[in-house]
Structure 1
């Protein structure tokens, strides 16, 4: 019987080394994610290290659950050296991971925070309970030093869970406070922008950048005193892995002396010194190495966050002799720390449930809830007070060293300033930007170097954008002289409508349709076709952004989708729907035949759809399928161009291609006049979690489109209202009304001939990209 049981156990143990490799792989993924966050923090010079890759999420918690297989395994023998080390390294690895989670809490909404914190709590409690069960069961076989070596990381893991829960409770309140302050400053910036006649320049955008960066939820979490405490705990946990070597050495010596004196030197000593495990020697040591590397790399971010927090406080520490101020500093509890718990408690008291006054069970239930929440409020206050005390002690211990380093830094900076030609910022410039730094109640003022790094990062983003300038688009825009192409692509009076109501146009749709026609024309050099597609492709990226951001009511979503989907086929496969444009170009003798074929195909598509249409909702063109919207646009544009062939001077294929290119340039130019407004809108739209990313994209877009905007400002812009200028149909109405330019002018007007457009030099938006001085 014993042989059979041993055989069964051997079969069950055979796949365990593969499971060990799986654990090592999960640990490696977590380690790589933490490494990526560290590299990203250094690259952006954000020493508070935002969590971009390793965040508190379902994915990371699943990976950690796999990586924690050994600590939670009750069947491993802790007398084996390898198993003992992997359990210890797993606990410390978990502590390090939790220390890196803190900033990511700011990027979550309330439901995500609740679900992720509960999931993390379940995982941590499961690990702690399983390890404690093993310690209790084996306490008579293990020396106290080993029990202590495992108990300390367990306590640190629980403390880290408490600090993360404490931070999670403050997230909703801090976001509301920051959002309120941001909106107040936004109103101030809008008044200043209005005073500058809607001029937006880098300095104006810098205000939004400072506001967005300083109010970034992750940055707010990272500079929180409770996050500083979690960083300190994480650093202490990482030190444990060094102490474990000393502990293991003592344990080996202890067992050797104890069992050698009893005449049994090989019984337990051999087990604790030999690296035997059911997971296999190689997988276990691989897990140990990877998790140790993860602890080292993962400790970098919490350590530097701790130093940055101490640096923040060094210049604002309350003097020892000012006891009243010191007491306020160390024992004052700001509202946002407990606001969420207070709201929960009060909501239970003021419940809207209809209950009877004599319902004593409901009364007891509410009293118990309030009692529990009062307890948690007390715990939260205790965590905040202890965190302040720890930070204050840390500041006192490091202040002398910080003062010495500060003097050295001042002397070095003065020497660099005198030996270089760098511009030194005046105090007024620094003050003008520091006004827009958003801080929570009780937070110290951001150091000047942090504000300098924020401004320098904005310069870097503009530089990145300048390296991405759309040169093909710029070359196409050189053909632009006026905005006549905005009305020339579609003759509303001379082309009969296929439906009683025409769908509206977005900027992308006519650009896609005109380009499809242009590249299908015969007798045109292939390099010109490729050049046009590349130019329009760069322009459509910007047109899509303009359509998306400025379409406030989302009326043109389906129209944009139609243009977007159709353009994929045109750009990648040279196909418009089912029509191969290359084949059409080869088999047709001239451009007139191409236009007729495309027009007939589009007309048949729309008529067939109308014939089979049964849903009354489809009477509204905004509800049409994307294929039908694109077909209707192709029908109208191709028929409009065909009107050019009714005159005596029919254009050649090359001439028509050039005129279509000019028409495309005109439409793109009209569309891109909205870029300044788009850049300004990107600086302050969307929720607080996405605002920093949006402002970053706005700076990149500013650098990317600098030449485009400068090129457009050589011409006069129509005096359209800003909201109306967002839509091509509004442009068509204004220009057609004031100039009455016939659509057939495509056949007679030359690309260099200007068409009058009503302008207002005082109202159009300008963009200044002059370099503003950065802080020294």
Structure 2
């Protein structure tokens, strides 16, 4: 073999070896690609369930917005206040989950439905921000600052992520030339990023305006509050008239409604702007996704079938969440109502006898009086009469609705009342305390104790006992309101808590401090024997507590001491009032006596209801005024018949503050003032 041939053969061997190395490297790379693809497929398996997590969060937000929509319609508040969907830590967390798609930087969105869902999430975010805006007015400055910082971080992060995706081409097809690519990117920035940043700016402006507006409204509210007090001339016995109470509640309803921070925010220019942005983004989304495609096709991203669920839920949320922000725009227009002012001038040209055509003179005077209680940031803008009528009718509607919920069993029990004699008879000054610490009395504890005694009578029909228990149960709802609002001193609160705890045991378990009511016992059947057994049982419990070192006494010991002392005093008072004739008393007669004492105590306590209603109308916290007046209107409606039944009774000549305390009643009835 020639030297040239040997050289050529060696070169051939080297070439074959090089080719083998290249093939081997190629195969290795191909294998690594297959393994990586298989791992990626495995990692992407949970993505549809993550999509369902996003869909569930979107559903919660949608349901909350719908709940606010229904709440506004039901309460005739067409400016749709935020009650269920408000800006707080919980809602921000749910919103962050619902915004997972536009936050996702890595997953491609090749299908039409994938792109539509990602863009739709941004429109859904605009809708939620527009709905949440009035809730800023319900916060104090600390909450407002913290929630605004959290929202700003979320929105800025969302906008930054979307801009990155627009630049990298995840949102749209990046295969076009540079000029078309630049236009597409600019277009998507304008329709996707600019609206949420504009809404964030609106939020910041609204927050600053709300803080100042609250100060102005507070000053005007205090002035109107003084006017309302003078108009009603709140004196002892005056507010027992239901009509005066209704007028009082209506005045404060107007003040709370027009001075509501949410109402003020909903009728502001910033809220109107947010409504326009919300409607525009929803319209753009429908134009870009729904109209061009009759069928969006199947999802092609890693989220798979869950993408269709997300798209449908957020689309429904957008549509339903947009009947509220848009309505607030009209509410703002109706509030300012420049067009209506022109219409009034036109009607005034055709007026006769000094009366505007189409108006009732009585109605004009009525609403003219109510206008004194309208709170506005700008006095030079006339408040819309339609809005004033709507607010006035809403409180009338609430009171009429509450009037259908009268406590029937309580009314039956109050019918047994004999003026207020039972307040004097249930406790005697001749009965000494059996505890080292003398306790004050409250309205609820004697009611619970007397009911326990009535339940211990075995020969009384169960139906009659149950009726009395139901009447006391209904009455205690209002008694607790009187105690909470009018005698909530530290000494009284401990007694009231003991009565509340004891009533649960009596009503639910039919027991008094662990003893069954009625308790079947041989040789204990007459009223005297039953009363003596209850008295002795109470005395034994007190002795056990008193024998314990004061340092070793628990809260339960004090509770038993308070309840036992009440039982001892009341049973001993009844026994003392009959002296040696107690054995001649039948269970029926004792039950009747207990019933009228219950009725008299309830009647005396419930004479304070008008004062409670008046107090509920006024509260210092501006954010809670509307809810407080609503509770007052509800209470007035429920107790209309009770107040009417008590208004003709002569009250003791006590100071107004003293009427709320049962001890003052007892002292007066035993020794009337000259």
On whether the aligned pair clears a TM of 0.5, the verdict is: yes
Which of 294, 300, 318 is matched with 1:295 structurally?
A: 318
Tell me, yes or no, if structure 1 residue 165 matches structure 2 residue 99: no
Measured in 1, the distance between the counterparts of 2:291 and 2:188 equals 7
Tell me, yes or no, if structure 1 residue 505 matches structure 2 residue 441: yes
Q: 1:156 to 1:102 in 2, by over 3 A?
A: same
Which of 293, 298, 303 is matched with 1:279 structurally?
A: 303
Measured after TM superposition, the shift of residue 571 of structure 1 is 1.3
Q: How does 1:69-148 map to 2 (within 5 A)?
A: 69-138=100-169, 140-141=174-175, 143=181, 144-145=183-184, 148=187
Q: After superposition, what is the alpha-carbon deviation per residue over 1:324-367, rounded to whole angstroms, capped at 9, x for unaligned?
A: xxxxxxxxxxxxxxxxxxxxxxxxxxxxxxxxxxxxxxxxxxxx
CA contact (8 A) 1:522 1:586 kept: no
Q: After superposition, what is the alpha-carbon deviation per residue over 1:422-463, rounded to whole angstroms, capped at 9, x for unaligned?
A: 976342222111111000136732210111011111111111
Measured in 2, the distance between the counterparts of 1:592 and 1:2 equals 96
- The aligned counterpart of 2:458 is 522
Q: After superposition, what is the alpha-carbon deviation per residue over 1:45-73, rounded to whole angstroms, capped at 9, x for unaligned?
A: 21110111111111211111111111111
Measured after TM superposition, the shift of residue 718 of structure 1 is 0.9
Q: 1:641 to 1:427 in 2, by over 3 A?
A: same
CA contact (8 A) 1:606 1:631 kept: yes
- The aligned counterpart of 2:39 is 8
Measured in 2, the distance between the counterparts of 1:233 and 1:536 equals 56
Tell me, yes or no, if structure 1 residue 486 matches structure 2 residue 423: yes
Measured after TM superposition, the shift of residue 273 of structure 1 is 6.5
Measured after TM superposition, the shift of residue 589 of structure 1 is 2.1
Q: 1:426 to 1:460 in 2, by over 3 A?
A: closer
Measured after TM superposition, the shift of residue 295 of structure 1 is 0.3
Q: After superposition, what is the alpha-carbon deviation per residue over 1:702-748, rounded to whole angstroms, capped at 9, x for unaligned?
A: 1211111121123221111110001001111111123xxxxxxxxxx
Measured in 2, the distance between the counterparts of 1:93 and 1:597 equals 70
Tell me, yes or no, if structure 1 residue 468 matches structure 2 residue 408: no
Measured in 2, the distance between the counterparts of 1:586 and 1:68 equals 73
Which of 239, 258, 280 is matched with 1:214 structurally?
A: 258
Measured in 1, the distance between the counterparts of 2:575 and 2:103 equals 76
Measured after TM superposition, the shift of residue 616 of structure 1 is 10
Which of 582, 594, 599 is matched with 1:660 structurally?
A: 594
- The aligned counterpart of 1:268 is none
- The aligned counterpart of 2:29 is none
Which of 571, 581, 584 is matched with 2:507 structurally?
A: 571
Measured in 1, the distance between the counterparts of 2:247 and 2:235 equals 12
Measured after TM superposition, the shift of residue 476 of structure 1 is 0.9
Q: 1:4 to 1:631 in 2, by over 3 A?
A: farther
Tell me, yes or no, if structure 1 residue 310 matches structure 2 residue 246: no
Measured in 1, the distance between the counterparts of 2:382 and 2:76 equals 19
CA contact (8 A) 1:58 1:116 kept: yes
- The aligned counterpart of 2:571 is 638
- The aligned counterpart of 2:562 is 629
Q: How does 1:446-457 map to 2 (within 5 A)?
A: 446-457=383-394
Q: After superposition, what is the alpha-carbon deviation per residue over 1:104-134, rounded to whole angstroms, capped at 9, x for unaligned?
A: 1111111111111111111111211111111
Measured in 1, the distance between the counterparts of 2:490 and 2:398 equals 29
Measured in 1, the distance between the counterparts of 2:278 and 2:380 equals 23
Q: After superposition, what is the alpha-carbon deviation per residue over 1:179-227, rounded to whole angstroms, capped at 9, x for unaligned?
A: 1111111112222223877634122322111111111111111111112
- The aligned counterpart of 2:16 is none
CA contact (8 A) 1:70 1:76 kept: no
Q: Which segment drifts farther, 108-117 or 654-663?
A: 108-117
Q: 1:636 to 1:132 in 2, by over 3 A?
A: same
Q: 1:121 to 1:151 in 2, by over 3 A?
A: same
CA contact (8 A) 1:35 1:298 kept: yes
Q: 1:204 to 1:317 in 2, by over 3 A?
A: closer
Measured in 2, the distance between the counterparts of 1:726 and 1:274 equals 71
- The aligned counterpart of 1:180 is 219
Q: Which segment drifts farther, 476-485 or 167-176?
A: 167-176
Q: 1:219 to 1:646 in 2, by over 3 A?
A: same
Residue 90 of structure 2 aligns to a residue whose secondary structure is: helix
CA contact (8 A) 1:124 1:158 kept: yes
Q: 1:278 to 1:503 in 2, by over 3 A?
A: same
Which of 466, 469, 474 is matched with 1:538 structurally?
A: 474
CA contact (8 A) 2:163 2:189 kept: no
Residue 648 of structure 1 aligns to a residue whose secondary structure is: helix
Q: 1:586 to 1:666 in 2, by over 3 A?
A: farther
Measured after TM superposition, the shift of residue 567 of structure 1 is 0.8
Measured in 2, the distance between the counterparts of 1:628 and 1:240 equals 72
- The aligned counterpart of 1:240 is 284
CA contact (8 A) 2:266 2:328 kept: yes
Measured in 2, the distance between the counterparts of 1:674 and 1:273 equals 69
TM-score, normalising length: structure 2: 0.86
Q: 1:601 to 1:433 in 2, by over 3 A?
A: same
Gaps of 5+ in 2: 1-31, 352-356
- The aligned counterpart of 1:153 is 192
- Calculate the aligned-residue CA RMSD, in Å: 2.9
Measured in 2, the distance between the counterparts of 1:42 and 1:624 equals 52
Q: After superposition, what is the alpha-carbon deviation per residue over 1:356-397, rounded to whole angstroms, capped at 9, x for unaligned?
A: xxxxxxxxxxxxxxxxxxxxxxxxxxxxxxxxxxxxxxxxxx
Q: 1:195 to 1:104 in 2, by over 3 A?
A: closer
Measured in 2, the distance between the counterparts of 1:113 and 1:134 equals 31
Residue 288 of structure 1 aligns to a residue whose secondary structure is: helix
- The aligned counterpart of 2:395 is 458
Q: Which segment drifts farther, 149-158 or 87-96?
A: 149-158
- The aligned counterpart of 1:556 is 492
Q: Which has the larger radius of gyration?
A: 2
- The aligned counterpart of 2:631 is 697
Measured in 2, the distance between the counterparts of 1:133 and 1:92 equals 18
How many residue pairs align between the two structures? 621
Q: Which segment drifts farther, 540-549 or 174-183?
A: 174-183
Residue 425 of structure 1 aligns to a residue whose secondary structure is: helix
Measured after TM superposition, the shift of residue 578 of structure 1 is 1.0
Residue 647 of structure 1 aligns to a residue whose secondary structure is: helix
Tell me, yes or no, if structure 1 residue 61 matches structure 2 residue 61: no
- The aligned counterpart of 2:378 is 441
